[in-house]
Amino acid sequence: MLWEAIWKAEDNARATGGIGEAFKAVDGVPTSVAAPEAYQAMESGVVDTVAFAQHAHLSFGTINEASWWTANLNPGTVNCPIVVNNDAYDMLGDAEREALDSSIDESIEHYLDNYAELLARWDDVLEEKGVEKVMISDEELAKFREVAAGPIRDKWIEDMSAQGLPAEELYDLVVNTLEETRASN
């Protein structure tokens, strides 16, 4: 089984939040390590794996310690918001507030363009670094979804609904949007 070949029970994984919970469901040990410390934690053996998006593996150097990368395992994402202090924002003059507000769309476009460029050359980066690209079978991915994603999703929907949020609707919106996006690619 490919999953067991790359993931050993009780491996320490730098995986936070829901991603950590997903790895815990398959007997991994989620380990909270700050992103800037992930390379050193991997190099020293504190963690065996690091769950990052491609850009973070490059930014924090963990790709230089990697021997494999799962090409089709996407256990989720960590929320990476950009926040602005309300008091500081309120103290801005009209021109400064307009400059900040009007830069949002351009900033997002710049981020997405750079990320697309990285994804276009990712296979070359893996080859250059000598990192094996691993594909997990559909059967193993289905098991992972059943064991990890299902219970975590259900708990999130329950918790968010209890807070008065339209959790099921939000979840369905994200799933449907992803399916539509994948179908259009």
Q: 3-class DSSP state for residue 20?
A: helix
Would you list the domain boundaries of the chain? 2-136, 139-185
Burial (CB count <10 Å: 0-12, 13-18, 19+), residue 148: buried
pLDDT at 66: 92
- Number of Cα atoms under 13 Å in the Cβ half of residue 137: 8
User: How many helical (H) and strand (E) elements, i.e. helices and strands, does the chain have?
Assistant: 11, 5
2-136 maps to CATH 3.40.30.10: no
pLDDT at 166: 96
Provide the residue-wise pLDDT of the chain in tens; the chain has 185 residues: 444 555 555 578 888 888 888 888 888 888 889 999 999 999 999 998 898 889 899 999 999 999 989 888 877 776 677 788 999 999 999 999 999 999 999 999 998 899 899 989 999 999 999 999 988 888 888 888 888 888 888 999 999 999 999 999 999 999 899 889 888 87
CA–CA dist 69, 58 (Å, integer):
13
Residue 62 near residue 50 (C-beta atoms within 8 A): yes
